């Protein structure tokens, strides 16, 4: 575009000099032509800018993070002249669209249109715009270009994911020093509705004889682990100081970690409590799936503006005299005060796991991690690229 503009300027100057020195109809015609060409190009660009049409839609505007949803857009030339060099720019920082690049360029004949039906995925929780961001119109000679934002952008409400965990690896088996009998945070419970093929070594008492008779092969009942100890999750909603994208990622991982753990307990009929500070200290007791669903709906409006430190939330809970309770702290910040509260939690006969959501760790924080590990608490650092379910199921080792 810079070259064509430079050539146009040189053409105007050259034809002007030629007309000044030699005169005549031809020289003046060239001079007027050199002036009219950019004017016509500019008017064409403005005309296309005004007349160009684009339509876009989604099947749902309330979606779940990570799910693919139907998305379509149509660009149309409903005029009598051809449109050339129309570039469509897509929003891509928080969403992904299949079969599209960051920008796509189209040329449309009169009454022509292009339609694309594809899938769109929202990568982060929250409410934001997706789809087409702007349109760039360029004239035939590449002299002028107008880039204008779409006024009717698609806005979606993106709910956090709920990860389904087969096991909770962050609650390992422990040994009581006073009574050295190995105990676990889970007991085995039979699932009558789920069966699988019998494998050599399976307990024969688990064979589902009725189902085996129907299929003419041995089938075994599936079992899952039911947690025994009561769970208390502390969700730290303190403001995170990072760049915008890392803030969104960290907030998502905090919420998704809490949802995954509480869903694991709720689906197994074990009580859990979630404690956090958002416009005041709140505590939600989850006994059944219906309680979890209520908490999930509340997560849509969660804001990270806590005024109370997570260590203070732990201190308040300890006043109840907990003993044998499994504490989980999900936070993006480690402090000396949190370390001291961790000592209190463990000295009271409770178990403790800290999920540390952060990509940057100073030397001071590294020492805190080591000190927390030494006192007997489990601590996991979750980086932006880490998968939450890998950490929670135990596929990633503790820091």
pLDDT of residue 75: 84
The tens digit of pLDDT for each residue in 35-58 reads 777 787 788 778 777 777 788 999
Contact 144, 109 (CB under 8 A): no
Tokens of 328: 């989980």
51-159: CATH topology: Immunoglobulin-like (2.60.40)
Stretch (H or E) spanning 235 = strand 231-235
Give the mean model confidence (pLDDT) for residues 247-257.
Answer: 92
The sheet that has 62-64: what strands, in order across it? 62-64, 154-159, 126-130
Nearest Cα to Cα of residue 258 among 320, 182, 310: 310
Task: Report residue 191's pLDDT band, with 50, 70 and 90 as the boundaries.
Answer: very low
Determine the Cα angle at 286 with ends 160 and 225, to 5°.
90
Residue, of 311 and 103, whose pLDDT is higher: 311
Confidence category of residue 326, pLDDT binned at 50, 70, 90: very high
Give the distance from CA 98 to its chain's centroid.
Answer: 17
Q: Which residue has the tokens 């949802």?
A: 259
Compute the distance between CA of residue 370 and CA of residue 153 in angstroms, rounded to an integer.
48
Q: Quote the pLDDT of residue 340.
A: 95
Nearest 5°: the CA angle 331, 336, 342 is: 65
| The pLDDT of residue 99 is above 70 | yes
pLDDT at residue 294 tops 80: yes
Residue 293 has pLDDT above 60, yes or no: yes
Three-state SS at 11: helix
CATH homologous superfamily for 228-393?
von Willebrand factor, type A domain (3.40.50.410)
In this structure, what is the dihedral angle of CA atoms 391, 393, 395, 399, given to the nearest 10 degrees? 40
Residue 342 parent element (H or E):
helix 336-347
User: CB 88: neighbour CB atoms within 10 A?
Assistant: 23
In this prediction, residues 337-348 reach a mean pLDDT of 93
Q: pLDDT value at position 396? A: 58
Q: What is the mean pLDDT of the chain?
A: 81
Q: Which of 147-156, 232-241, 273-282 has the lowest mean pLDDT?
A: 147-156
pLDDT at 151: 75
Dist. CA 200–CA 63, nearest whole Å: 43
The tokens describing 248, both together, are 């969104």
pLDDT of residue 335: 92
DSSP 315: H
What proportion of the chain, given as a percentage, has pLDDT over 70? 83
Which among 140, 157, 25 is positioned nearest to 85, based on CA atoms? 140
Q: Which of 96-100, 119-123, 179-183 has the lowest mean pLDDT?
A: 179-183
State how beta strands 145-149 and 132-138 pair.
antiparallel
**If you average pLDDT over residues 215-228, what whole number do you get?**
64
Q: 């999920």: which residue's tokens?
A: 355
**Cα gap 74→293, rounded to integer Å:** 37
Residue 375: strand, helix, or coil? coil
Average pLDDT over residues 247-273: 91
Please list the residue range(s) of the chain that carry CATH number 3.40.50.410. Answer: 228-393
- CA angle, corner 304, sides to 300 and 307, nearest 5? 135
Ramachandran angles phi, psi of 391, nearest 5°:
-70, -45
pLDDT band at 194 (very low <50, low <70, confident <90, very high): low
> Residue 179 above 70 pLDDT?
no
pLDDT band at 1 (very low <50, low <70, confident <90, very high): low
pLDDT of residue 37: 79
Residue 189 has pLDDT above 50, yes or no: no
Strand partners, 273: 232, 285
């Amino acid at each position: 575009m810079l070259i064509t503009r430079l050539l146009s300027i040189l053409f105007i100057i050259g034809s002007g000099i030629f007309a000044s020195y030699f005169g005549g109809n031809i020289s003046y015609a060239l001079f007027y032509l050199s002036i009219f060409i950019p004017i016509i190009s500019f008017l064409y660009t403005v005309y296309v800018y005004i007349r160009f049409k684009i339509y876009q839609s989604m099947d749902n505007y309330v979606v779940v993070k990570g799910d693919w949803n139907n998305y379509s857009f149509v660009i149309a030339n409903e005029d009598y002249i051809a449109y050339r060099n129309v570039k469509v720019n897509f929003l891509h920082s928080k969403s992904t669209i299949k079969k599209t690049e960051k920008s796509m360029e189209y040329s449309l004949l009169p009454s022509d249109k292009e339609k694309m039906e594809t899938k769109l995925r929202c990568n982060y929780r929250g409410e934001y715009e997706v789809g087409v961001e702007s349109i760039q119109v360029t004239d035939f000679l590449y002299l002028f270009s107008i880039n204008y934002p779409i006024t009717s952008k698609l806005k979606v409400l993106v709910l956090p994911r709920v990860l389904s965990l087969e096991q909770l690896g962050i609650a390992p088996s422990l040994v009581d020093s006073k009574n050295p009998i190995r105990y676990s945070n889970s007991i085995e419970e039979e699932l009558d509705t789920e069966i699988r093929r019998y494998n050599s070594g399976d307990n024969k008492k688990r064979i589902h004889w009725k189902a085996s008779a129907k299929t003419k092969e041995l089938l075994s009942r599936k079992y899952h682990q039911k947690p025994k100890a009561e769970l208390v999750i502390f969700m730290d909603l303190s403001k995170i100081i990072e760049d915008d994208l890392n803030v969104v990622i960290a907030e998502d991982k905090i919420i998704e970690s809490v949802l995954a753990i509480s869903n694991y307990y709720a689906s197994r009929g074990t009580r859990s409590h979630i404690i956090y500070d958002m416009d005041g200290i709140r505590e939600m007791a989850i006994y059944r799936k219906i309680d979890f669903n209520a908490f999930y709906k509340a997560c849509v409006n969660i804001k990270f503006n806590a005024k109370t430190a997570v260590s203070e939330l732990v201190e308040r809970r300890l006043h109840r005299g907990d003993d044998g309770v499994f504490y989980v702290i999900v936070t993006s910040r480690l402090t000396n005060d949190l370390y001291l509260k961790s000592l209190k939690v463990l000295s009271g006969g409770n178990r403790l796991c800290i999920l540390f959501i952060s990509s940057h760790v100073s030397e001071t924080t590294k020492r805190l991690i080591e000190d927390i590990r030494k006192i007997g608490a489990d601590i996991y650092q979750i980086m932006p690229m880490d998968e939450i379910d890998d950490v929670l199921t135990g596929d990633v080792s503790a820091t």
